[in-house]
């Protein structure tokens, strides 16, 4: 029927406007499939299998939906967590990286009759500082450290690393690199290519396909909506009560 695509929501607890707005979207827009293309949470971990209590309302709102879940650089542990925590495995296309330390995971899954390819999009950042930092963060050793710190310690450490919920301008070099990536994948047969990460919403026809960046929820509150082969970028405007 329809698929909703989001990335870079940066939910950060019940007091955060991003989380409130995202829960509003989930209750207002019903679709068959929900694609979470990374950085849905600002600093996700599930110490010893239990996600941070501040994120629990979102996890519960995801239950019962058909999900495609990609790791982001702020929530790389989310796909594996959802699989382990009783989400119906047949209703979820989880995309934990074969090597969890790897940055950039491409997922090919048909969406609404389109050959679609998804990635969070941070693999276009090839700087050794980014790659090295994320190799450490996504290592099993760092995961064990977060588990040992427990919910409060892990929350504090991850928030120090993630930094404040900034509304930084998109990095033009990364956006250009993502456009090239989309061109390549479309030339290879994809009809829809989705990249997030840059917080730069766009929906652009390239050759025989569409490149979609669903944007972010700190600044834009945009999402992708795909129905009967049509791809749209929409803005969420909550009904104020």
List interacting residues with Mn ion (CB under 5 A): 39, 72-73, 197
Torsion angle (degrees, nearest 10) of CA 134, 136, 137, 141: 160
Place of tokens 């309302």: 57
Closest separation in Å from C-beta 75 to Mn ion: 9
Closest separation in Å from C-beta 7 to Mn ion: 8
The number of C-alpha atoms within 13 Å of 208 and in the hemisphere containing its C-beta is 10
Torsion angle (degrees, nearest 10) of CA 117, 19, 142, 108: -10
Q: Name the residue nearer to Mn ion (CB basis): 39 or 123.
A: 39
Q: Name the residue nearer to Mn ion (CB basis): 41 or 211.
A: 41
Q: Name the residue nearer to Mn ion (CB basis): 20 or 171.
A: 171
Q: Name the residue nearer to Mn ion (CB basis): 5 or 114.
A: 5
Closest separation in Å from C-beta 134 to Mn ion: 10
Q: Name the residue nearer to Mn ion (CB basis): 107 or 114.
A: 107
Residue with the shortest CB distance to Mn ion:
197
Closest separation in Å from C-beta 104 to Mn ion: 11
Closest separation in Å from C-beta 218 to Mn ion: 12
Distance, CA of 71 to CA of 178 (rounded, Å): 17
Torsions phi, psi for 102 (to 5 deg) = -75, 140
Q: How many residues does the chain have?
A: 241
Q: Which has the closest alpha carbon to 43: 172, 176, 138, 159? A: 159
Angle between helices 140-162 and 128-137 (to 10 degrees): 120
């Amino acid at each position: 029927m329809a698929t909703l695509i989001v990335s870079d929501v940066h939910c950060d607890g019940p007091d955060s406007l991003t989380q409130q707005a995202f829960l509003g979207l989930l209750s207002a827009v019903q679709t068959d499939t929900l694609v979470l293309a990374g950085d849905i949470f600002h600093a996700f971990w599930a110490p010893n299998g239990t996600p941070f209590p501040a994120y629990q309302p979102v996890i519960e709102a995801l239950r019962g939906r058909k999900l495609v879940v990609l790791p982001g650089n702020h929530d790389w542990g989310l796909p594996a967590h959802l699989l382990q925590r009783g989400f119906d495995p047949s209703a979820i296309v989880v995309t934990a990286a074969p090597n969890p330390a790897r940055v950039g995971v491409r997922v090919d899954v048909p969406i609404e009759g389109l050959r679609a390819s998804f990635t969070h999009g941070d693999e276009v950042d090839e700087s050794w500082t980014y790659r090295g930092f994320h190799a450490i963060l996504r290592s099993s050793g760092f995961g064990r450290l977060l588990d040992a710190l427990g919910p409060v310690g892990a929350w504090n450490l991850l928030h120090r690393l993630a930094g404040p919920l900034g509304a930084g301008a998109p990095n033009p070099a990364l956006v250009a690199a993502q456009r090239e990536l989309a061109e390549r994948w479309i030339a290879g047969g994809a009809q829809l290519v989705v990249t997030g990460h840059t917080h730069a919403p766009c929906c652009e026809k390239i050759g025989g396909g569409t490149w979609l960046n669903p944007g972010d929820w700190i600044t834009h509150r945009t999402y992708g909506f795909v129905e009967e082969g049509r791809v749209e970028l929409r803005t969420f405007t909550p009904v104020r009560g």
